């Protein structure tokens, strides 16, 4: 099996999209209009003639930018008053459908039935992923992802926030973000065989810091108390103002966030999960660079975030690496023989181990009795060698040391602490949670069974643990294809209550209780308890 971040992104989400019916109005729409030519007794202005015809179709006001005003007389007459008109819809953030307005994006002579096209972008701190949609028929026509060029400044978000405070740093990071998105757009357009100019709407989902950097907004206050971003709800911004190489008049929508640590990417996840519409309580977790969790149902939603995740992203583990070709991402240990089997991305010789490989290896080590529930290697092992030196590309073994496992255990414990503190904040326990949604790119690659064994995911019936894949890209796509989803996500943003972890005296005790695989309270993980019994 060949697995690359790109192809897995491509493969994962369309399946999810098919779960939603394609209905409602997309963020950009194309109308073929045949206007009555002016004549004696009917000599209203070209633009007003066009606007009136258009408003009968759009049922909302249509604004026309000055640059287009100049072109309209010629375009209308080129094909005898037959034109194809593209509009983009927008609304003032938080004002919903009653504020719905259209903006003229393009007027072409004659009838054209292609598109319109829109792009959904997940602006991750590591990866920038995009979907190109043909919004005329509601079809995903291309997918592509690439690394965020900002990575050269540093892997983690704090490094970038600090870099943004240096002279030219913010500009540099902004240019990197814009360039990365433009690279995705250029490739999407090439794959679909359209001009980037034909893309007349965009939706961008990203965490709060990423959105700030893309827009050139100083992110300084995001990481210092009281953690206040410049903006939570940027709303719609014309592409040309951001520097995106789609139609310059295209409007780009930014998903709103809730505070500094629950960004648009998480809101996209809620939207994609549908948890905000269900009677049953759901728990959504995005454990990537940071750990973010949302708990709730159609009546209430609470969210929290914390520093849980770094050990899953590579760099913290001694042999850790990103999910690139050559990374061990799947591990199996035969409990009888102790034989270790592994798979690498693109089947390349192993160069390191990525997050999902670490979780797999530890879970398998626990089940095989090689790793204790305290996260220690059973004597006489000094390390868990996943790939022997002679098989690896580096000439060194790919292994997990006790230090590595302890680091992972603390990450896991932090995730547990967020989860249990969040549950307690609303007087719930895990028993009240019906569904668990794994959001974000990491959740897409992770083996669910292993994640439960190590205690990272709750021990729910497996059919109730749902991997959303790249739910950030997913949520952005939903809005692109149905503007009511955009208004829904703003409604979600208003409903979410942010729970501050730093203020909770219970956080530390939950953290301590989590420093055990799967958890000190084994009753919380009955299925794992059964499987581990042999070793206790």
Q: String of b and e for 63-87 (b: at least 16 CB within 10 Å)? A: ebeeebeeebeebbeeeebebbbbb
Taking alpha carbons only, the member of 326, 317, 320, 331 closest to residue 360 is 331
Using the contact rule CB under 8 A, the part of the chain among 237-245, 388-396, 414-422, 528-536 near a second copy is 237-245
Q: Are 95 and 69 in contact (CB under 8 A)?
A: no
Q: Are 474 and 468 in contact (CB under 8 A)?
A: yes
Near a second copy in 294-333, by CB under 8 A: none
Q: Which of 1, 19, 42, 380 binds a second copy (CB under 8 A)?
A: 42
Q: How far is the CB of 34 from a second copy (least distance, A)?
A: 17
Using the contact rule CB under 8 A, the part of the chain among 40-48, 272-280, 307-315, 344-352 near a second copy is 40-48
CA gap 110, 82 in Å, rounded: 5
Complex with a second copy: residue 179 or 231, whichever CB lies closer: 231
For 223, the token pair is: 């990481």
Q: How far is the CB of 493 from a second copy (least distance, A)?
A: 10
Complex with a second copy: residue 63 or 338, whichever CB lies closer: 63
Complex with a second copy: residue 147 or 227, whichever CB lies closer: 227
Q: How far is the CB of 233 from a second copy (least distance, A)?
A: 6
Near a second copy in 47-106, by CB under 8 A: 47-48, 51, 61-64, 66, 69-70, 72-73, 92-95, 99, 101
Using the contact rule CB under 8 A, the part of the chain among 16-24, 230-238, 275-283, 438-446 near a second copy is 230-238
- By CB under 8 A, residue 232 contacts a second copy: yes
- By CB under 8 A, residue 44 contacts a second copy: yes
- By CB under 8 A, residue 43 contacts a second copy: yes
CA gap 211, 123 in Å, rounded: 8
Complex with a second copy: residue 94 or 154, whichever CB lies closer: 94
Phi-psi region for residue 166, left (φ > 0), alpha (ψ -120 to 50) or beta? Answer: beta
Helix/strand/coil for 208: helix
Taking alpha carbons only, the member of 493, 451, 485 closest to residue 303 is 493
Q: How far is the CB of 209 from a second copy (least distance, A)?
A: 12
Chain length of the chain: 536
Binding mask 489-518 for a second copy (x = CB under 8 A): ---------x-x--x---------------
Using the contact rule CB under 8 A, the part of the chain among 131-139, 223-231, 404-412, 525-533 near a second copy is 223-231
Q: String of b and e for 406-430 (b: at least 16 CB within 10 Å)? A: ebbbbbbbbbbbbbbbbbebeebeb
- By CB under 8 A, residue 206 contacts a second copy: no
Using the contact rule CB under 8 A, the part of the chain among 4-12, 37-45, 390-398, 472-480 near a second copy is 37-45
CA gap 183, 177 in Å, rounded: 10
Count, residues near a second copy per rule CB under 8 A = 53
DSSP 126: S
Q: How far is the CB of 221 from a second copy (least distance, A)?
A: 6
Phi-psi region for residue 201, left (φ > 0), alpha (ψ -120 to 50) or beta? Answer: beta
284 - beta bridge partners? 294, 437
Q: How far is the CB of 403 from a second copy (least distance, A)?
A: 35
Q: How far is the CB of 104 from a second copy (least distance, A)?
A: 12
Write out the DSSP string of 438-506: E-HHHHHHS-HHHHHHTTSS----GGGEEE-SSHHHHHHHHHHH-HHHHHHHHHHHHHEEE--STT-TH
Q: Which of 118, 202, 234, 486 binds a second copy (CB under 8 A)?
A: 234
- By CB under 8 A, residue 151 contacts a second copy: no
CA gap 175, 404 in Å, rounded: 36
Does the N-terminal peptide bond of residue 384 adopt cis geometry, omega within 30 degrees of 0? no
Q: Name the site residues for a second copy (rule: CB under 8 A).
A: 38-48, 51, 61-64, 66, 69-70, 72-73, 92-95, 99, 101, 215-218, 220-221, 225-235, 237, 241-242, 257, 259-260, 498, 500, 503
């Amino acid at each position: 099996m060949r697995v690359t971040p790109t192809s897995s992104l491509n493969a994962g989400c369309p399946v999810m999209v098919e779960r939603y019916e394609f209905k409602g109005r997309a963020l950009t729409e194309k109308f073929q209009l045949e206007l009555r030519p002016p004549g004696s007794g009917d000599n209203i202005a070209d633009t007003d003639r066009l606007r009136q015809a258009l408003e009968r179709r759009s049922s909302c006001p249509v604004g026309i930018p000055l640059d287009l005003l100049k072109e309209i007389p010629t375009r209308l007459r080129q094909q005898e008053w037959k034109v194809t008109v593209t509009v983009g819809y927008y609304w003032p953030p938080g004002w919903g459908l009653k504020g719905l307005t259209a903006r003229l994006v393009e007027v072409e002579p004659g009838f054209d039935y292609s598109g319109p096209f829109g792009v959904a972008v997940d602006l991750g701190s590591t990866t920038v992923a995009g979907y190109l949609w043909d919004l005329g028929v509601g079809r995903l026509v291309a997918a592509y992802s690439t690394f965020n060029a900002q990575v050269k400044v540093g892997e983690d978000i704090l490094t970038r926030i600090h870099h943004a405070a240096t002279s030219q740093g913010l500009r540099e990071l902004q240019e990197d973000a814009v360039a990365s998105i433009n690279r995705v757009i250029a490739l999407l357009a090439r794959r679909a065989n359209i001009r980037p100019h034909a893309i007349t709407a965009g939706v961008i989902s990203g965490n709060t810091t990423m959105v700030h950097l893309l827009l050139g907004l100083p992110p300084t206050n995001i990481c210092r108390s009281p953690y206040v971003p410049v903006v939570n709800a940027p709303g719609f911004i014309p592409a040309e103002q951001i520097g995106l190489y789609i139609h310059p008049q295209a409007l780009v929508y930014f998903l709103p966030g809730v505070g500094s640590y629950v960004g648009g990417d998480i809101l996209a996840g809620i939207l994609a999960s549908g948890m905000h519409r269900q009677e049953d309580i759901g728990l959504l977790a995005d454990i990537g660079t940071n750990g973010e969790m949302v708990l709730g149902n159609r009546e209430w939603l609470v969210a929290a975030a914390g520093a849980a995740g770094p050990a899953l992203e590579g760099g913290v583990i001694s042999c850790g690496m990103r999910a690139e070709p050559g990374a061990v991402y799947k591990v199996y240990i035969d409990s009888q023989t102790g034989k270790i089997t592994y798979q690498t991305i693109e089947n390349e010789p192993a160069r390191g181990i990525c997050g999902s490989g670490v979780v797999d290896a530890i879970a398998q080590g626990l089940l095989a009795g090689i790793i204790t529930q305290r996260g220690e290697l059973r004597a006489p092992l000094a390390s868990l060698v996943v790939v022997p030196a002679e098989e690896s590309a580096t000439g060194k073994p790919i292994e997990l040391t006790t230090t590595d496992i302890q680091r992972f255990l603390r990450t896991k414990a932090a995730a547990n602490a967020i989860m249990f503190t969040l549950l307690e904040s609303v007087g719930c326990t895990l028993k009240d949670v019906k569904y668990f949604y794994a959001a974000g790119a990491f959740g897409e690659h992770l083996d669910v069974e292993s994640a439960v064994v190590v205690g990272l995911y709750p021990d729910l019936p497996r059919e109730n643990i749902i991997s959303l894949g790249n739910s950030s890209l997913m949520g952005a796509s939903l809005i692109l294809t149905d503007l009511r989803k955009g208004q829904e996500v703003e409604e979600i943003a208003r409903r979410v209550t942010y729970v501050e972890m730093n203020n909770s005296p219970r956080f530390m005790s939950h953290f301590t209780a989590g420093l055990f695989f799967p958890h000190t309270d084994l009753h919380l993980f009955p299925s794992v308890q059964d499987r581990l019994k042999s070793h206790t």
